[in-house]
A = this chain, B = another copy of it.
């Protein structure tokens, strides 16, 4: 199997200033074309370390993808280090990349400095894929069999995430064109509302019945639930895709509406799919989640078609005055209660005229109150069929609680829409 190494260059990663998200995105893209990522490495802007690390990784893998270490203030350490193992004798200016540098500077009203022009210069041993999104070119170094004991290719991408990710389709195309890759087939379904262990127990007989060449992965995420992914390496596309479909078809009756999508997805997009084109709308009222549910719903492009608005009612006066929660309901039941969650959902539904509404009231932390421990949330969902409330109890980490509360609320909203 073809293996790859993903290398990130930059002191800013080693001092913990930046979380490296490029490597993860690159790994997913490689995985999708059937290449196994053997390791990921992050190193500093040090020429010797870069040379040694890249040589080591090129010996072990036929594909090495490097991000970072390029930029007008980086002193070209990386380019010099890349030039070395490739036996480069000098630099050449790449007219296509130079044109992009020129356009980017012009659009910002800036003159071209020598440091800008140098960005379009590359070692004479590489091929260039023009980076249309930034000034640093994408460099491709191809090494013959005799250099590392196998044919190897090194791709150098800029470190800026949207430039690195923007280059991935071209890189994957180049990799496909130059490697005889095993086929790989994946399909995922998304579930919410069962912890990984409970899910595993529930579907154990199904999992045990899977053929030996079919691999199941449990991929849990706080905001999106547990993703179940089936993979097969090799075989004919139509056959294998059909086998995976059939396996999932046997799973679906076991999980019912715990499954919210039969593809990579999240709850807010699933809700969008349920509402879009139906004329039905949604709103929300948030206390402890503080705007997070609204932010998730509106992260979906085109959400304005079905999301009318929300009220974050942190102060009791806002709950009463804006959402119309009766003061006696708060007095009698406390702010964190089924009754207040219901009244908030009904209040924001009335206020915005939406078809559905979801509301949260709870204690994200750091502290609980006299009636409820930290981590308690009441969720209210209101719609044409009436109002329901749900209680959930989590732990004592404020940030995680806010996310868990918001995800649970989105899921109850989804189920209410589904069952209406």
A interface list, Cβ under 8 A from B: 12-21, 23-31, 36-44, 49, 53, 162, 217, 219, 281, 286, 289-295, 297-299, 301, 303-304, 307-315, 317-318, 321-322, 351-353, 365-366, 397-400, 402
Residues from chain B with Cβ under 8 Å of A304 in the complex: 314-315
Residues from chain B with Cβ under 8 Å of A38 in the complex: 14, 43-44, 49
Determine if A290 and B301 form an interchain contact, defined as CB atoms under 8 angstroms apart. Answer: no
Determine if B294 and A312 form an interchain contact, defined as CB atoms under 8 angstroms apart. Answer: yes
Once A322-B309, A400-B162 are accepted as A-B contacts, the answer to whether A16 and B28 lie under 8 Å apart by CB is yes
Determine if B24 and A37 form an interchain contact, defined as CB atoms under 8 angstroms apart. Answer: no
Give Cα A311 to B290, complex, Å. 11
Give Cα A97 to B372, complex, Å. 30
Q: Label chain A's interface by main secondary structure.
A: mixed
A308's partner among B14, B39, B219, B317 (CB-CB below 8 A) is B317
Residues from chain B with Cβ under 8 Å of A162 in the complex: 397, 400
Determine if A39 and B37 form an interchain contact, defined as CB atoms under 8 angstroms apart. Answer: no
Determine if B301 and A295 form an interchain contact, defined as CB atoms under 8 angstroms apart. Answer: no
Determine if B41 and A49 form an interchain contact, defined as CB atoms under 8 angstroms apart. Answer: no
Once A352-B315, A352-B322, A399-B299 are accepted as A-B contacts, the answer to whether A39 and B49 lie under 8 Å apart by CB is yes
Q: In the assembled complex, how far is the CB of residue A356 from the closest CB belonging to chain B, in whole angstroms?
A: 14
Determine if B15 and A28 form an interchain contact, defined as CB atoms under 8 angstroms apart. Answer: yes
Q: Which residue of B lies closest to A32 (CB)?
A: B16
Residues from chain B with Cβ under 8 Å of A19 in the complex: 19-21, 24
Determine if B317 and A353 form an interchain contact, defined as CB atoms under 8 angstroms apart. Answer: yes
Once A27-B15, A28-B15, A313-B309 are accepted as A-B contacts, the answer to whether A39 and B39 lie under 8 Å apart by CB is no
Determine if B31 and A24 form an interchain contact, defined as CB atoms under 8 angstroms apart. Answer: no
Residues from chain B with Cβ under 8 Å of A12 in the complex: 219
Q: Which 8 A-B pairs have the closest CB atoms?
A: A290-B298, A291-B294, A16-B28, A16-B27, A291-B291, A309-B318, A291-B295, A40-B42
Q: Which residue of B lies closest to A4 (CB)?
A: B14
Determine if B37 and A15 form an interchain contact, defined as CB atoms under 8 angstroms apart. Answer: yes
A43's partner among B18, B39, B43 (CB-CB below 8 A) is B39
Residues from chain B with Cβ under 8 Å of A49 in the complex: 38-39
Residues from chain B with Cβ under 8 Å of A318 in the complex: 308-309, 351-352
Determine if B308 and A314 form an interchain contact, defined as CB atoms under 8 angstroms apart. Answer: yes
Q: In the assembled complex, how far is the CB of residue A207 from the closest CB belonging to chain B, in whole angstroms?
A: 13
Q: Which residue of B lies closest to A406 (CB)?
A: B295
Once A310-B312, A311-B309, A351-B322 are accepted as A-B contacts, the answer to whether A40 and B13 lie under 8 Å apart by CB is yes
Residues from chain B with Cβ under 8 Å of A317 in the complex: 308, 352-353
Determine if B402 and A299 form an interchain contact, defined as CB atoms under 8 angstroms apart. Answer: yes
Residues from chain B with Cβ under 8 Å of A53 in the complex: 39
Q: Which residue of B lies closest to A400 (CB)?
A: B162
Q: Which residue of B lies closest to A14 (CB)?
A: B37
